[in-house]
Amino acid sequence: MSEITEPRAEAAVPGGPARTGGERPPWLEALRRGGTFLIQQREASVFVVLVALVIYFWLSAPDFGTKLNFINLTQGIGSAYAIVAIGEVLLLVCGEIDLSVGFIWALAPFLMHYFIDFYGIPVPLAILFAWACGAGIGLINGLIRVVLNVPSFIGTLGMSFLLYGLMLVTSNAEAAAIPPRATGFFQEYFGAYAWSEIIWAVVLVAIFHTVLTRTRWGLYTIAVGGNFTGAAESGINAGKIKIGNFMITGWLGAVAGIMEAFRNNTIDPSAGGYTPMFYAVAAAVIGGTALAGGSGTVLGALLGMLVLATLTDGFNLKGISADPFNIILGIAIIAAMVANVYLTRLRRAGRT
């Protein structure tokens, strides 16, 4: 008896009564419908921005349209970061965050190197073990969150320092070479080959976009982040969902870290860190994921990351220093968040 929900009733019918007088030319009507469709597809607005940026740089920077440049653009930020962003989207949707993923990224190639060079484990198994360690760290992150009830922001912050320390201690803070047995086939397929990172990123994005939108796991991830009590009352094991998503994120961090080590042809203690995580969250937000939980899109995060990669690359080619890039990035994140909030309200009201 406390609040009046009456105004909601108005919004019950999407679209509402048609406000068009009928005098509009058909092309304008088509444009309006197209616009409505674009706003309703969460990924569409960032896709439009991406296309616009590509066209702009293509026209204004002569080297932008070359094959070599597209390889540059898609490797690194465009794909390894996007792989991390997949995990962050899943976590943000279920109401969590993982700050430590970039340190899993740094540790994983060292683990692979130890397994191969110190324990003589065959390369494919060593890669699998390193991946499993990433997932295992995610498991610990999840248990700290769910069982010990520590907010993930704090738990994974602690994990970041812990992993960084572990990596520095075990490696003596020195870079290691790619194990000779891993060069060739594995190095090429897991990162060094010109298009391999983007192919991995696209495949993983396709898989996890499907997981989030079309499977039980995705449905529960949304439910847990959208209405924790409601999800629990419906009998969903919220803890399991959260821990699982931490594990997926940890695994993806290991995948991306090993990939980047192969691509850079060195196992570097200064790799990873907080940067991939911050970029991943930025890309997730630009792509349409709300930090409040309950909504988000993996595909949008990939597009968001490609926007960031295109900006970085385009600025480089135009000879603009890296410094203003941060200004653009900052404005882009804030603008994306504002648009996200505003568009969500529009979509909810069904007036788009």
Which residues here bind another protein, judged by CB under 8 A?
1-6, 8-9, 11-14, 210, 214-216, 219, 222-223, 225-227, 229-231, 233-236, 294-295, 348-350
Q: Which helix (H) or strand (E) holds 263?
A: helix 238-264
Q: How many Å apart are CA 286 and CA 97, to the nearest integer?
A: 16
Furthest-apart CA pair in the chain: how many Å?
77
CB of 299 to another protein, least distance (A): 17
Closest CB to another protein among residues 12, 148: 12
Closest CB to another protein among residues 181, 347: 347
CB of 143 to another protein, least distance (A): 23
Q: How many Å apart are CA 51 and CA 230, to the nearest integer?
A: 40
Closest CB to another protein among residues 13, 169: 13
Q: How many Å apart are CA 61 and CA 204, to the nearest integer?
A: 31
Q: How many Å apart are CA 112 and CA 131, to the nearest integer?
A: 9
CB of 11 to another protein, least distance (A): 6
Under a CB-based contact definition with an 8 Å cutoff, are residues 50 and 171 in contact?
A: no
CB of 252 to another protein, least distance (A): 19
Q: How many Å apart are CA 203 and CA 211, to the nearest integer?
A: 12
Adjacent-strand bridge partners of 176: 267
CB of 294 to another protein, least distance (A): 4
Q: Supply the angle between the helices 298-317 and 80-93 in degrees, to the nearest 10.
A: 140
Please identify which residue in the block is written with the tokens 């484990």.
121
Closest CB to another protein among residues 291, 349: 349
User: Residue 19, exposed/middle/buried by CB under 10 A (0-12, 13-18, 19+)?
Assistant: exposed
Closest CB to another protein among residues 13, 68: 13
Report helix, strand or coil for 176. strand
Cβ within 8 Å of residue 83, ≥6 positions away:
200, 201, 204, 252, 255, 256, 259
Cβ within 8 Å of residue 154, ≥6 positions away:
none
Q: Which of 316, 322, 282 is nearest to 302 (CA)?
A: 282
CB of 213 to another protein, least distance (A): 9
Closest CB to another protein among residues 9, 327: 9
Closest CB to another protein among residues 97, 231: 231
Closest CB to another protein among residues 290, 329: 290
Closest CB to another protein among residues 52, 291: 291
Under a CB-based contact definition with an 8 Å cutoff, are residues 176 and 266 in contact?
A: yes
CB atoms within 10 A of CB 271: 25
CB of 3 to another protein, least distance (A): 6
CB of 37 to another protein, least distance (A): 15
CB of 300 to another protein, least distance (A): 15
CB atoms within 10 A of CB 129: 20
